[in-house]
């Protein structure tokens, strides 16, 4: 929304007392958003600092209370079966287990990254309201659910030789196997 104002001291049809008629100065268009904005430094930065400080205190308290022991030293003579990657690489390890390396390590991750980069351009809706962005929200929700599901399956439900064992999720290995 824009408001139209005349510059200060400019009256409509003002005349000089001894000279010719003065031209009316141009109208100034001012956007309403300029009046409703808030500077970011004292307001937003302070809130972000407090949120970060609160998260730091929370994580410090949790890390002091929860015991997280290290495992035994690695034995170079014995390789665990399966040798699992960290949780953030479990999806890539799972792909490398099932597909040729060029597909699993290059083609598929490139496709996923390009698709994620194109997501804003696939949803042409200019609105920023969540109610109007159904396509973008649906695409992101599907991607997030698949990513979480694949990480959980790869990290928690893979038994010996990467066989699928849902019993591992509840701490009962081979619960679903017939033996």
Inform me whether the pLDDT recorded for 58 exceeds 90: yes
Tokens of 111: 């496709």
Note whether residue 125 is domain-resident. Answer: yes
Tokens of 89: 């690489």
Inform me whether the pLDDT recorded for 88 exceeds 70: yes
Rounded Cα gap, residues 82 and 99, in angstroms: 17
Over pLDDT 70: what percentage of the chain? 74
Tens of pLDDT, residues 119-138: 878 888 888 888 888 888 88
Inform me whether the pLDDT recorded for 109 exceeds 70: yes
Note whether residue 20 is domain-resident. Answer: no
Note whether residue 142 is domain-resident. Answer: yes
- Partners of 164 in the β-ladder: 158
Note whether residue 176 is domain-resident. Answer: no
Which residues span the domain enclosing 149? 81-170
Spatial CA neighbour of 116 closest among 146, 95, 139, 134: 139
Inform me whether the pLDDT recorded for 90 exceeds 80: yes
Tokens of 24: 């009316």
Whether residue 135 contacts residue 126, with contact meaning beta carbons closer than 8 Å, is answered with no
Beta-strand ranges (E) seen in 24-165 are 28-31
Q: How many CB atoms lie within 10 A of CB 143?
A: 14
Rounded Cα gap, residues 149 and 156, in angstroms: 10
Query: CA-based angle 69:72:73, to the nearest 5?
Result: 125
Domains in the chain, number: 1
Q: How does the average pLDDT of the chain come out, rounded?
A: 78
Tokens of 146: 């698949």
Tokens of 81: 């079966």
Note whether residue 33 is domain-resident. Answer: no
DSSP 8-state symbol, 178: -
Note whether residue 99 is domain-resident. Answer: yes
Which of 40-49, 62-71, 78-87 has the lowest average pLDDT? 78-87
Tens of pLDDT, residues 35-57: 677 777 888 899 999 999 999 99
């Amino acid at each position: 929304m824009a408001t139209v104002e005349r510059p200060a001291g400019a009256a409509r049809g003002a005349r000089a007392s001894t000279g010719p008629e003065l031209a009316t100065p141009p109208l100034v268009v001012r956007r309403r958003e300029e009046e409703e904005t808030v500077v970011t430094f004292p307001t937003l930065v302070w809130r972000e600092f407090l949120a970060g400080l609160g998260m730091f205190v929370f994580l410090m308290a949790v890390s002091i209370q929860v015991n997280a022991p290290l495992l035994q030293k690695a034995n170079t003579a014995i390789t665990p079966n399966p040798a699992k990657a960290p949780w953030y690489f479990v999806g890539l390890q799972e792909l490398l287990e099932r597909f040729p390396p060029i597909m699993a390590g290059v083609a598929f991750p490139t496709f996923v990254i390009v698709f994620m980069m194109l997501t804003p351009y696939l949803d042409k809706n200019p609105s920023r309201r969540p109610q109007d962005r159904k396509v973008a929200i649906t695409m992101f929700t599907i991607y997030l659910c698949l990513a979480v599901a694949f990480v959980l399956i790869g990290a928690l439900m893979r038994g010996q030789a990467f066989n699928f064992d849902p019993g591992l999720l509840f701490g009962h290995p081979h619960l679903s196997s017939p033996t």
